[in-house]
Amino acid sequence: MKENKKHSISNWVDPDDAPEITPELMSSGVKMIADNRVSDKEFSNAVKKRKVGRPAQEKTKMLVSIRYDAEIIEYFKSTGKGWQSRINEVLAKYIASH
């Protein structure tokens, strides 16, 4: 069956046809927080207060440098992803039992 090109609509837009982002274009934007339109000052304050990254954990871990025998590391690595957490679990069980 032959396609009727007369009624075909292309929604594709060439990214090279996008306008250049200029300071004037950026300043014409509308600042929003959730579904609410806000002033430049309110928006700036919200951006400053925003925390980046993961939420803080109740119980955080410490970064340390420690040396283990090669066999220990090879064993835990062979158990797959999460091997460092498994070392942590083994040590925690040891502490609980002593």
The alpha carbon of residue 77 and the mean position of all alpha carbons in its chain are separated, in whole angstroms, by: 26
Residue-by-residue DSSP string for 1-54: ----GGG-------GGGSPP--HHHHHTS--EETTEE--HHHHHHHHHH---SS
What pLDDT score does 58 carry?
85
**pLDDT exceeds 60 at position 54:** yes
| Average pLDDT across the chain, whole number | 86
What pLDDT score does 87 carry?
96
**Candidate from 19-23, 42-46, 93-97 with smallest mean pLDDT:** 19-23
What pLDDT score does 8 carry?
65
- pTM attached to this predicted model: 0.45
Q: How far is CA 73 from CA 37, 40, 47, 64, 66, in A?
A: 54, 53, 43, 16, 11
